[in-house]
Structure 1
Amino acid sequence: MFRSPSRPPGAARSFTAPGAALLLCALAGPVPLSASPIAAPLDAETLVDAVLASNPGIDALRAGTEAAEARAHAAGALPDPRLGITVAPAALDGFEAGGGRHRDPTGAVELRQDLPWPGTLGLREAVSRAEARAGRDAEAALRLELAATARIRHAEWAYVHAALAVNERTASLVEALREVAEDRYAAGLASQQDPLQAEVEVQRLRARALTLEGRRAGIRSALNALLGRDAEAELPAPGALPAPGSAPPFDTLRTLARSRHPDLHAMRQRVEAQQGRAALREKAFYPDLSITAGHNGYRPAEETRFTVGVGITLPLDRDRRRAELDAARAETARMRHALRDRESRLLAEVSAARAAAERARATVALVRDALLPRSRETLDAARSAYASGDGSFLDVITAERQLLNTELELERARADHAIARAELMRDTGGPLPAPEAAAEETTP
């Protein structure tokens, strides 16, 4: 289970129905392939590039968009002309009935071209091209979602490795404390409770290590699925997460989201396409035209055999056309409302992700600069007091636990900041402006 700091657990992302289906297919990962080596250490952008290169959902959307663009070209073309030929079967016999006189065969030929009402073909092409552009935006939205998923899982991969390292350092510390407690007990300077407490703490840390190892295996499986690799294929250790920096102002993020997020672009294109469909319904009130040219060999006079003509359709059922136009206009209004709703929800997600990023950044600074040094000082003081006989071993164990929890809190805040920035990049449609210079950070 991957925790997202910008919204509560269980809160669902909002997608259109086709987008949700494509995303589920994409996040399920491609058909597992043989594990290919990945350069170490594994940084977030390397992982993103590998995911985008290997996921077939993007290729499927791209192929669909290319098909839509091809259909757009055809949508603006005139219908094919029609050629009609008629003959009188009796004229093919070669002889008149009851006599032996030869007669030339005759027939009629007609060529007809249908012409939709002026502007209809242009509207049809515009609708198709808008849908094709929406397909391009859907591809970009899927790439954004996959990239955010890769960055979030990389942050969890980094956290679990850091947590294991913290746990291992703490276990080494407790082992040393246990040796001190055993020496003091053997010398009669401490009770048997002290080495027993140390042993309990050692076992507790081993149990935590087992839990973290299980979590690391789960994250590795999820990452391999995203990469199209075997679930248990080895992955390199992660690189260090970047030092947290200030998030851009909300006004800047709001402008970015409105101007470049592919979800909003796609919905705007679909609104434009629907407006074109409504305009086509208006064209349906006007007649379509047809022009004909032909030669009728059955006519006796030569000067009347060649003919040209113009025809029109008769749009008599105006009630049906009015209902179709009203439905198209209502659908346009619905899509406009849906666009405004999606924009509002997207900006709320941007605000939540920014708040989470700033909260995580402040937490990193607080824990790193205040809590962590004090926790170390507390442990050092407890160890010194115990060694001198003025303190209890329980105080040492309590201080060790406090230091462990503080170090884990710091690693969790670093990961949460990376997750929040990944969500900000997704919700604003791309890379963020350069943050303010962050204070140099030294990993303990």
Structure 2
Amino acid sequence: MTTKNEPWIMLALAGAALGCATARPAESPSDRAPSDGAALQRPDEGAETGVGPSSETPAELVVRSTSGPRLERAALIRAVIARNPDVATRRHAWQAARQRSRGAGVWEDPMLAYSFAPLSIGAERFGQTVELSQKLPWPGKLGSETAAAERDAEWMKKDIRISELDLALAASLAYDDYWLFERSLDVNATHKGLLGEIQQSSEAQYSVGMGSLSEPLAVEVEITRLEEQALALRSERDVAVSRLNVLLHRAPETKLPPPPEQRQADLTVPASSNELQRRALGQSPELERVGAKVRAAEAEVKAAERQAYPDVTVMASYSTMWADPEHRLMLGVEAPIPLQRAERTSRVESARAKVAEARSETSHTAALVRADIDQARRQVIESIERVKLYDGRLLPAAKNQVAAARTDYVAGKTELAMAIAAERNLREIELGRLAAIAELWRRRARLDRALGRLPFDAEKGGAK
């Protein structure tokens, strides 16, 4: 016979199911993923990347950086980082990993089951059963799963920084090429004018019978060679512009403002190799990434060890198919018998192997960082000495040689070939000096990259 309390008991079981569904472990503020607005503003990414927060959209940043009278390297790098889709892809992957970490530490939904005896319909006692069950994870299991997921998101965040630094270095190197070819074209034009003056002098001397016809023709050949060189330089400049536009995610043929006319070479010698290595070991994003992978692997070991402990399922049911009312309400518990331990053991051993792999990668990465720092520093010092050699000896001597050769030629003391050779020597030295300055900036950018810094920091003094 159905008792008058049965509807209330079934309602209580249904209410308990709803209560289990809504009751979840408290979520800490650090576990909450950012809202869409917060993700767009990225208030914490300025400190992480070194670029700094900006209220401008990527498109606005590109327009501002490429619409001025001169193309500045720092603004260009910021625009490349903001515009390039690779950084955005890695940022979305990191945010997806953060969202996965939120779902890693929650209880499973409770199970509510209902059944009835169809042949009892219309009978004096209608047979029906309501059952509610909830799986209770072993203490600490959900926390270890959450920690493992959070550590995975942590090393994925380091990938964003690495991608930004690689893009910044690529943009900086292309910018240095752009500057070098533009300034080389200026040198080419200057020497073309200088050869024009020499050609006028040779024609004047030939007209008064003091020279031969071969002299103005020799100058014409040299001028033609300069025009050929200018063609190659313009082609190289256009290639550099195309590389920059690709990094800005624009059409390769899009025009860019010219680079600055003058760039002073920073001749400050970097700090000692040991000091730079010490800095790099403390801030290298590659080391931070492998360190995060070690922590992720260690968290995975703890999670795998916790998985060996059984979850317990508690249940409550009420059935009207028992004649005695005291037998209708049932409480129970269910737990697996851990007979098959091979899978659990292999999971733990696999996680421990990942820890060993990550720690080995840490040692290898640290050795690579040290080697990169030492090599980059040596190359910077070499470039500094080369620029000093150009400025202190080669360039002054070449200018004096040209002045003396022109004076002697006008005075009839030397042949035109000597003046042309002196001019060619000065041109090669001026072009070599520009190449040495550009290479010094490239090597400083590579040193900054090895230190985990953005290349435009070199504009403020570089790696000192």
* TM-score tier (shorter): 0.7 to 0.9
Contact 2:444 2:463 (C-alpha < 8 Å) held by counterparts:
no
1:196-275 superposed matches below 5 A: 196-239=217-260, 240-244=262-266, 245-275=268-298
Gaps of 5+ in 1: 1-29, 96-102, 439-444
1:341 to 2:370 alignment: no
Report the TM-score, using the length of structure 2 for normalisation.
0.81
Tell me the equivalent position of 1:140.
161
Query: Take 1:241 and 1:119, find their aligned partners in 2: how far apart are those partners?
Result: 60
Change (3 A) 1:163 1:291: same
SS at match of 1:307: strand
Tell me, yes or no, if structure 1 residue 72 matches structure 2 residue 94: no
Shift of 1:288: 1.8
Please list, as runs of the form range in 1=range in 2, the aligned pairs for 1:16-415 lying within 5 A after superposition: 38-91=67-120, 93-95=121-123, 103-239=124-260, 240-244=262-266, 245-415=268-438
SS of 1:66's partner is helix
Query: C-alpha root-mean-square deviation of aligned residues, in Å?
Result: 2.3
The alignment covers a number of residue pairs equal to 399
Q: Which moved more, 1:193-202 or 1:411-420?
A: 193-202
Q: Matched residues, percent identical?
A: 30
Please say if residues 386 and 396 of structure 1, whose CA atoms lie closer than 8 Å, have aligned partners that are also in contact: yes
- The answer to whether the Cα contact below 8 Å between 1:241 and 1:415 also exists between their aligned partners in 2 is no
1:345-382 deviations in Å (ceiling 9; x for gaps): 23322222222222112211110121100110111111
Q: For 1:293, what is the secondary structure of its paired residue?
A: strand
> Once the 2 structures are TM-superposed, how far is the Cα of residue 242 of structure 1 from its aligned partner?
4.1
Q: Tell me the distance in 2 between the aligned counterparts of 1:231 and 1:145.
A: 20
Distance 1:436 1:80 in 2: 56
**CA shift in 2, pair 1:256/1:158, >3 Å:** same
Tell me the SS of whatever aligns to 2:107. coil
Q: Secondary structure at the match of 1:199?
A: helix
Encode CA deviations 1:287-332: one digit per residue, 9 max, x unaligned.
2222222223223322232222222112211233223322221222
> Which region of structure 1 is more displaced relative to structure 2, 323-332 or 123-132?
323-332
Deviation at 1:435, TM superposition (A): 4.2
**Post-superposition offset of 1:142:** 1.0
Q: Give the TM-score, by structure 1 length.
A: 0.84
SS at match of 1:320: helix
**Letter of the 1:58 counterpart:** V
Partner of 2:9: none
Letter of the aligned partner of 2:303 in structure 1? L
Q: Gaps (5+ residues) in structure 2? A: 1-57
Q: 2:305 and 2:342 mapped to 1: Cα distance?
A: 13
In 2, the alpha carbon distance for the partners of 1:344 and 1:117 equals 42
Q: Structure 1 residues 379, 325: closer, same or farther in 2, change over 3 A?
A: same
CA separation in 2, counterparts of 1:224 and 1:279? 48
Mapped partners of 1:295, 1:426: distance in 2 = 68
